[in-house]
Amino acid sequence: MDLNTPQPLLTSEPMVDPFGRTISYLRLSVTDRCDFRCVYCMSEHMTFLPKRDLLSLEELERLCGVFMTRGVRKIRLTGGEPLVRRGIMELIGNLGAHVKSGQLDELTITTNASQLSRFATDLYAAGVRRINVSIDTLEAEKFASITRWGRLHQVLDGITAALEAGLKVKLNTVALKGINDTEIPSMIEWAHGLGMDFTVIEVMPLGEVGENRMDNFLPLSELRETLSQRWTMEDLADRTGGPASYVRVRETGGRLGFITPLSNNFCEGCNRVRVSCTGQLYTCLGQEGSIELREPLRASLNNEALDQAINKAIGSKPKGHDFGIEGGKMTGGIARHMSETGG
């Protein structure tokens, strides 16, 4: 589909939510499928969506075109694992053309790196310059236990391929008390030694995973206190409208981020929306509310109804999520899995 000849639109006005936040960032899930089964993200025996329910690559591209017309300047492709979607490089190449033309500032991907050895060079050629890689340990046996199906060497080879291709890599690690908490300092040193940013994330109550997440919940305030006894951490003013707060680790020279959905709400500057691979538009990761985009998308090549649905969603965007801890239990949990919403 040629996005240089867009379909008629009701409006090209920027998307501004009820709290005055301009929406300029789209996180688009291209599949709910993944080749891992991480214990905090999925149940071991997941039931995935029928393929007929998923938006086609052409439909995903059309949606991106509409959002770009409405002021989106950054698109992140997520999943599941986005690189397991058949034909995904066609979509990435078409969207990357809009980075090269200046219509998009950035096209990025969140991945588990299992497929990066195959795709890293093609991603760079398509216009991708930065990726996020989810990795929670550098110990092979522990990695297999956390991911259930993953193999560490495959991920490390993928990260190496990405760096060699010229991609800037940021690592995301979920802090898991009693599992990887003591290993996080050495992971930070390893990442910074290779020029990669590193972000630590608290466990979030998304989906039933067959585990009690509180058993492994580590408040990042505790982790930061531990790290501050080891290193000098200088607060940075870096803000992307996202959930992370950043520091510079003086001894390593690298950037370290903290995402704290449970211990410290991060929603004030939110500039993003999420669209699932079935066309559900979620205005908040931690709220159940959503607007159906698949029906208006498929009803007509005219984008008027689609644009109206987007307006309705933005007009109902909440101030923030409801995640929290009360009485030793996580509150504000959401039934849908992260892989359904899009990471």
Distances (CA, A) of 228 to 233, 234, 247, 323: 7, 10, 11, 26
Domain boundaries in the chain?
15-341
Three-state SS at 115: coil
Tell me: the pLDDT tens digits for 264-292? Answer: 555 777 899 999 999 999 988 767 779 99
Environment class of 9 (CB within 10 Å of its CB; exposed 0-12, middle 13-18, buried 19+): middle
CA dihedral 268, 63, 277, 258 (to 10 degrees): -30
DSSP code for 142: H
Tell me: the pLDDT tens digits for 207-241? Answer: 554 455 567 788 898 999 999 999 999 999 876 65
> Going by C-beta distance under 8 Å and a sequence separation of 6 or more, which residues neighbour residue 303?
6, 7, 8, 9, 10, 66
Tell me: the pLDDT tens digits for 6-55? Answer: 444 445 789 999 999 999 999 999 999 998 888 777 667 777 788 888 99
What's domain 15-341's superfamily in CATH? Aldolase class I (3.20.20.70)
